[in-house]
Amino acid sequence: MQFDDEQDPTPSGELVLQTLALPKDTNSNGDVFGGWLMYQMDLAGAIAAREIAKGRVTTVSVGGMSFLRPVPVGGTVSCYCEILSVGRSSIKCCIEVWVKHYNRETQQKVTETEFVYVAIDDAGRTRPVSC
Ligand SMILES: CC(C)(COP(=O)(O)OP(=O)(O)OC[C@H]1O[C@@H](n2cnc3c(N)ncnc32)[C@H](O)[C@@H]1OP(=O)(O)O)[C@@H](O)C(=O)NCCC(=O)NCCS
Alpha helices per DSSP H over the chain: 34-53
Ligand 1 centre from 14 Cα, in Å? Answer: 24
Tens of pLDDT, residues 14-52: 999 999 999 999 988 888 999 999 999 999 999 999 999
Domain residues of the chain, as ranges?
Answer: 5-119
| pLDDT of 65 strictly over 70 | yes
5-119 belongs to which homologous superfamily? Answer: Hotdog Thioesterase (3.10.129.10)
Confidence (pLDDT) at 73: 92
| pLDDT of 9 strictly over 80 | no
Look up residue 55 and give its DSSP letter: S
Tens of pLDDT, residues 67-117: 999 999 999 999 999 999 999 999 999 999 999 998 888 999 999 999 999
* Ligand 1 and 85: CB distance under 6 A: no
Residue 44 — left, alpha, or beta (φ > 0 → left; ψ -120 to 50 → alpha)? alpha
- Is pLDDT larger for residue 4 or for residue 41? 41
Yes or no: say if 77 and 99 are a contact pair by the CB < 8 Å rule.
yes
| pLDDT of 4 strictly over 60 | no
Yes or no: say if 89 and 49 are a contact pair by the CB < 8 Å rule.
no
| Confidence band for 130, pLDDT divided at 50, 70 and 90 | confident
Ligand 1 centre from 60 Cα, in Å? Answer: 5
Ligand 1 centre from 50 Cα, in Å? Answer: 15
